[in-house]
């Protein structure tokens, strides 16, 4: 006889694996620190690329001013301003990335706990079903 509870659990588990579980199962292979660190690294690379692109665009836009004032520009102040701005922007991005990916990893952990508990329930129901079948054959 078909166990309706087991079928429902298997259907829910299959739907989870097909939708949310695909990403969560992939990310479950990482430890928390590795997952957060990897995404913080990507965030740092993105911020650096965006900052450099922004500087290039500003220089292209202000090219005439830069060429006309090459000897008048205070390069030390400009350099220190650019570095301080970059460092502050990078720190802000890293802090935001840490919190965002910590929350995401926590959500993935919750999903994985639910998934594993469903698998355990399915396994338990399968074992009980086998016991019942074996007991029925012995009699």
Angle between helix 75-138 and 4-18 (nearest 10): 160
Query: What pLDDT is recorded for position 138?
Result: 59
pLDDT band for 8, please (50, 70, 90 cuts): confident
Q: For residue 137, what pLDDT band results from cuts at 50, 70 and 90?
A: low
Record the pTM.
0.71
Which tens digits make up the pLDDT trace of 86-123?
Answer: 999 999 999 999 999 999 888 888 878 888 888 888 88
Q: How far apart are the first and last CA of the chain?
A: 18
On whether the CB atoms of residues 64 and 18 are closer than 8 A, the answer is no
Please determine, for residue 62, whether its predicted confidence score (pLDDT) is greater than 80. yes
How far, in Å, CA of 31 to CA of 37, rounded? 10
Cα–Cα distance for residue pair 51/23, rounded to 1 Å: 30
């Amino acid at each position: 006889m078909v166990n309706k509870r087991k079928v429902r659990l298997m259907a829910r588990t299959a739907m989870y694996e097909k939708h949310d579980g695909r990403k969560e199962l992939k990310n479950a292979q990482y430890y928390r620190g590795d997952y957060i660190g990897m995404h913080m690294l990507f965030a740092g690379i993105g911020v650096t690329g965006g900052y450099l692109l922004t500087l290039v665009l500003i220089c292209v836009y202000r090219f005439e001013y830069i060429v006309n004032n090459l000897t008048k520009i205070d390069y030390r102040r400009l350099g220190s301003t650019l570095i301080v701005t970059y460092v502050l922007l990078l720190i802000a991005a890293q802090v935001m990335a840490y919190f965002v990916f910590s929350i995401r990893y926590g959500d993935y952990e919750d999903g994985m706990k639910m998934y594993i508990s469903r698998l355990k329930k399915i396994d338990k129901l399968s074992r009980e079903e086998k016991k019942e079948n074996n007991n029925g054959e012995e009699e």
